[in-house]
Amino acid sequence: MRLIGEEGEQLGVLSKLEAQNKADQAGVDLVLMSPNANPPVCKLMDYGKYKFDTIKKEKEMRKNQKTSEIKEIQLSMRIDEYHISFKLKNAQKILQDGDKVKVSLRMRGREQAYSKNAVEIVKKFVADIGDFGFIDKEPVIMGRNVSVVINPKKA
């Protein structure tokens, strides 16, 4: 097996017994790093410290990771301009916070016959929010709903 020292230096290809003797002389553990390699790669290290450091790094990465939420804003076919501007301001605040916005418009009854108008209302809403976010896909009609997800722009 190929042996790597504590500082990352190559110690050569040794038998398992010789590698274990070197680890015992140095007072460290012999850790199998890559068992599928030819020859297998082992490293001399303090395994307890290695495990502690990897757990610490994982915790740090999870702590710094921001999960983005999807918040929904609902529109209707008969929505007034005042209500659109109000919902537009709310969507802008959500996007500035770094969360995604799902804009959905539910069609009721006879409104389903005018699905093109519903798509136009959603597209107009997305165009008005253009400075704060962008869309990946065009608005989609799914049954009674027209929906689109707006992603925040990077600062």
Domain holding 7, by residue range, is 2-63
57/86 same-domain check: no
Handedness of CA 126, 127, 130, 132 (dihedral sign): negative
Taking only the tens place, the pLDDT of each residue in 56-109 is 999 998 888 777 789 999 999 888 888 999 999 999 999 998 889 999 999 988
Per the confidence metrics, is the pTM higher than 0.95? no
CA dist list (Å): 94 to 5, 30, 91, 99? 51, 52, 5, 6
Asked whether residue 52 falls in the same domain as residue 75, the answer is no
Q: How confident is the model at residue 155 (pLDDT cuts 50, 70, 90)?
A: low
Q: Are residues 18 and 81 located together in one domain of the fold?
A: no
CA–CA distance from 17 to each of 6, 42, 146 (Å)? 18, 12, 68
**Portion of the chain with pLDDT greater than 90, in percent:** 54
Same domain? 50 vs 19: yes
Do 93 and 130 sit in the same domain of this protein?
yes
* Nearest-angstrom CA–CA distance, 135 and 129: 10
